[in-house]
Homo-oligomer: A and B are copies of this chain.
């Protein structure tokens, strides 16, 4: 395995629709068990486990055991960091484009 940065892991994790769905499910109700999450996915439990493992490696999900069950909790911090450190700077471009468009429209 290559040495991957945190940012790398987060973006990689978000690159899969199943994993985004898992985050969506946890956003609706936090602390769900593996089985509960599986009910909403069209795949084997073991596959879901792998996806959750990737989310956990990216620090987007953390877990605890309660008896024989495993509870999953969402961690929004890495998402926020990625936004702050990476996505935000493209906002500058976007706003300048909007400004440009606006002044062009006014010139007509």
Q: Which residues of A contact B (CB under 8 A)?
A: 8, 11-12, 14-15, 17, 20, 23, 27, 30, 74, 76-77, 79-80, 83, 86-87, 89-91, 93-94, 97
Beta-carbon contact of B94 and A27 below 8 Å: no
How many copies of this chain does one complex carry? Answer: 2
Judge whether A14 and B17 touch: CB under 8 Å.
Answer: no
Asked if residues A87 and B97 are in contact (CB atoms below 8 Å), the reply is no
In the bound complex, residues from chain B placing their C-beta under 8 Å from that of A79 are: 87, 90, 94
**Interface SS of chain A: helix, strand, loop or mixed?**
helix
What is the CA–CA distance of A90 and B76 in the complex, to the nearest angstrom? 6
Residues of chain B contacted by A77 (CB below 8 angstroms): 94
Contact B74 A80 (CB under 8 A): no
A15 partner, pick from B12, B30, B83, B86, beta carbons under 8 A:
B12
